[in-house]
Structure 1
């Protein structure tokens, strides 16, 4: 019996190994096939990506490593595949993304199809780690609406002009004074302006978020340092940049900058939620978060003290934090409960307000410097238009005040700001998630699919795709012509005149519907801070152009990072200034 067992075992071994290996290969093949991307039927995609477990990730990562941009790569796929609707595979084992580069279809989805398309899961992946209780990534539900009620007064004309504007104006004037000192020191040399703009924007949003009692201003500190300098060691070649010393930032500012940069990393990652989780475990991120939370806790305590001394009766609101706590106080009274001030919701909404109020504004202003320096005729016309419209400060040889800047209708200024917003592409795309099976331009979009609506490609910066009107939704067809379209010959150029028209009397007017752009999104989930952004751009831009002539800098200091004419982000921000006449 023993011998029989031995013979069977050893005799079967040569047959068992091939069967075993064959089984392993078979299962590996099945797993491989299961892990391949699953394309949505009928929508174009990169064929090589469809045959790889990693999909489009290697191509996307290669592009992002060169350009630091993900949305430019997305829009480039529509151009490459010659279709207004394409799909890309950017999440291993995940559903494909659908990318749309047609303004009218994007407008229809954002404004009229809000029940079919809601906030994208992409935003959940990006923001939930840093802002776990902020409305930006929430679906449109009762929780989202409750969060927005806390903030609803912050975009009213009263708050913007009475609370926010003085802080923005003060920060802009500090920037002007700083640059006057840098102009004295650098003479005709260019110098880096990106950090100055970034700090001025952060100073302003810090002020109207927490009030003057916070006492934090990096621009003032930098001005004090630069004013103490008598001269710099300048390069002999005037085209070479001057190196201007800079001082340290307050710890709270550094914490905000560190946390902001973590979002910039994860937005470019194929696995952003996991990537950000690993970042949050690092000691420097833990320190930054603790510093940020401690700072907000201190400001909350001050605001609560102000509230108990009269602000509850609509008195004494001097900053966003005061208004948010007043809102919570009134809501608690109405609901018959104690107010809850020290909550994660308030912490995250305040921090989100700071992020949104400085990051996008500073990026757009750096774009403005670049565009105006490269477009001397536009800059010259803007300055002469400002001096004509604001005659009293021009004659008095002084800077215009807040009311003069904000209350005077200046169509050309509005046109320049709108064109800067269009060309800056601070937000190059909007993302939505299909909440049900839907149809876009004749293509079935399965429930749960993330849809990216691009603002940096065809129909906005290059000739639109030809699309059969019958493929559009009924609402999309009915809305034809409500927003103008751009001439394909110059739609990729910086040209503020495109936003100007004339009324029946021949008077020049600004027309916000002259043509498309999606920088601030559209519809109920469009940019909450849009009005604030326009106010910041108006005040800062007027004071810069009023005081300085922005001269063109050498190409190596002011070039554009361009990939197939799709990328629209300046590589760096250097300025060369002269005093405005």
Structure 2
């Protein structure tokens, strides 16, 4: 008599398990937002669009470019993408005008993306990029903002950037003496010089990275089997310097792992080299805060006398009555270096490759530099900062546009709202690709009545790119004639959102542009970059960077 009972019990348990599994499966399946186009096949599978995105990434090395491709496949300026089981879909907006409007003018509806914040949360939890737009963020932004004042950039940053890139010129001169016009790898040279520029600007002392790079020239060299480039040994950096590279790069863990920032937190706690980097960061920042406080106490400096960014931030914090040894203060000091040097270095890498591949643009740039600064002596810091050089500005913007170091910006909807007439629920993350439709390929027709009122009002202030050549490197697209017939730079020639826009846009944009202005002036005054056969290919790390940065240099003077 017991057997039927146990048999019935087993059937009931099995049915319950199957039902629970079915409910769990249903719960984890993508839940499309109403009306917004999506891949129907992806909506019916647990992993959503992830298999297609991984396949695309394996083929191209550029996972983020799957997003504008999805819009192209769906023939729509807006789409939704399903990236992780059980999570809300993200919305992809492939329309430069509307993306710019959202970031610049609709800040009461959209804020910093939690996904973007997660790339900082494990190692800079109280930094400006990690914080939502709350009172704490506003307070820290006040502390940080003085370091981006034009007067400070010109008085303090510009000379230090000039010195760092002058050291790079000396390094490359020595490399040319050794290898002639053979192909040579310069990837780390650019990275370390850019790091040195920001390090000295922040702390008022050298990181030693560029000096160590030069000292390695006498060590044995090797040849890259893929490109044939001569590869010099790279500097062995101290832990305090290396942590400024290692910790930002660790954010790849959060980006690539299904466990996100939790995976990165565990890695920072248990992986020996990452754990050392975390401790080195703490030592470095504490030492520099103490040093800055002592300098301020000893000299009673005014804002015009301060010679590094750390002093400016500590001085402002003291005036506001802040504790100098909080996590927020430490993160602000560290953010000054790591917040931009990798993206700036990556953009510069693309710049030397693009100008080597486009000799006509390089020749015109050098002609403009020589016309502004002559050929007898290296352009000075003051001369570079003050020079009006529309073509140089155009080259920099075109390098940013096609180099595309940041392949997407993100925001999160803080309330129920609409984008291009589609309902966007509160909490939805919206991704703005900086490549593809309206940027490097033709956009999609959009009913102007579906745009936001602010987009309709201001959209005409930004131009659009010529669809016949928008995928090509053409700095001239950023130039126009003024009323007197003079050629001038037009920053609104077309959509450009790599730096973001609005209050949550890149706070260091002016510094980054200053660094690139000095770099391109000095380097292309001093050297010619010869054509090579090396194919330009990208790889996605924390930034979109070139796989190889191998160039042929010829010293001009």
State the TM-score, normalized to the length of structure 1. Answer: 0.91
**Alpha-carbon contact 1:428-1:518 (below 8 Å) kept:** no
The 2-side partners of 1:123 and 1:149 are apart by: 22
Tell me what 2:523 maps to: 544
**Aligned CA distance change for structure 1 residues 233 and 156 (closer, same or farther; 3 Å):** closer
Following superposition of structure 1 onto structure 2, how do residues 133-532 of structure 1 map, counting pairs within 5 Å? 133-212=126-205, 215-226=206-217, 228=218, 240-282=228-270, 283-314=272-303, 316-332=305-321, 339-391=322-374, 394=375, 397-532=376-511
Tell me what 2:23 maps to: 30
Q: Deviations over 1:397-428 (max 9, x none)?
A: 21110011110101111111111111121112
Q: Which runs of 5+ in 2 are unaligned?
A: none
Secondary structure, counterpart of 1:412 in structure 2: helix
1:124 and 2:117 correspond: yes
Secondary structure, counterpart of 2:356 in structure 1: helix
Q: How far does residue 486 in structure 1 lie from its aligned partner after superposition?
A: 0.6
Following superposition of structure 1 onto structure 2, how do residues 4-153 of structure 1 map, counting pairs within 5 Å? 7=1, 9-65=2-58, 67-153=60-146
Deviates more, 1:304-313 or 1:542-551: 304-313
Tell me what 2:554 maps to: 578
Secondary structure, counterpart of 1:451 in structure 2: strand
Q: How far does residue 68 in structure 1 lie from its aligned partner after superposition?
A: 4.7
Q: How far does residue 60 in structure 1 lie from its aligned partner after superposition?
A: 2.5
**Aligned CA distance change for structure 1 residues 398 and 464 (closer, same or farther; 3 Å):** same
**Alpha-carbon contact 2:48-2:83 (below 8 Å) kept:** yes
**Alpha-carbon contact 2:405-2:544 (below 8 Å) kept:** no
**Alpha-carbon contact 1:461-1:492 (below 8 Å) kept:** yes
**Aligned CA distance change for structure 1 residues 576 and 473 (closer, same or farther; 3 Å):** same
**Aligned CA distance change for structure 1 residues 276 and 245 (closer, same or farther; 3 Å):** closer
Q: How far does residue 251 in structure 1 lie from its aligned partner after superposition?
A: 2.3
**Alpha-carbon contact 2:346-2:405 (below 8 Å) kept:** yes
The 1-side partners of 2:221 and 2:124 are apart by: 43
**Aligned CA distance change for structure 1 residues 352 and 234 (closer, same or farther; 3 Å):** closer
**Alpha-carbon contact 1:205-1:354 (below 8 Å) kept:** yes
The 2-side partners of 1:24 and 1:519 are apart by: 49
Q: Deviations over 1:515-573 (max 9, x none)?
A: 11111111111110000000000001111101111112223xx332499xxx9753221
Q: How far does residue 217 in structure 1 lie from its aligned partner after superposition?
A: 2.0
**Aligned CA distance change for structure 1 residues 293 and 62 (closer, same or farther; 3 Å):** farther
**Alpha-carbon contact 1:312-1:329 (below 8 Å) kept:** no
The 1-side partners of 2:230 and 2:302 are apart by: 53
Q: How far does residue 207 in structure 1 lie from its aligned partner after superposition?
A: 0.3
**Alpha-carbon contact 1:190-1:576 (below 8 Å) kept:** yes
Deviates more, 1:371-380 or 1:496-505: 496-505
The 2-side partners of 1:509 and 1:31 are apart by: 60
The 2-side partners of 1:401 and 1:321 are apart by: 25
**Alpha-carbon contact 2:35-2:422 (below 8 Å) kept:** yes
**Aligned CA distance change for structure 1 residues 493 and 311 (closer, same or farther; 3 Å):** farther
Secondary structure, counterpart of 1:221 in structure 2: helix
Secondary structure, counterpart of 1:519 in structure 2: coil
Q: How far does residue 244 in structure 1 lie from its aligned partner after superposition?
A: 2.0
The 1-side partners of 2:150 and 2:134 are apart by: 26
Alignment: residue pair count? 554
**Alpha-carbon contact 2:253-2:261 (below 8 Å) kept:** no
Q: Which runs of 5+ in 1 are unaligned?
A: 1-6, 333-338
**Alpha-carbon contact 2:221-2:233 (below 8 Å) kept:** no
State the TM-score, normalized to the length of structure 2. Answer: 0.95
RMSD of aligned residue pairs (Cα, Å): 2.2
**Aligned CA distance change for structure 1 residues 221 and 12 (closer, same or farther; 3 Å):** closer
**Aligned CA distance change for structure 1 residues 487 and 270 (closer, same or farther; 3 Å):** farther
Tell me what 1:560 maps to: 537
**Aligned CA distance change for structure 1 residues 331 and 493 (closer, same or farther; 3 Å):** same
Q: How far does residue 443 in structure 1 lie from its aligned partner after superposition?
A: 0.9
Secondary structure, counterpart of 1:327 in structure 2: helix
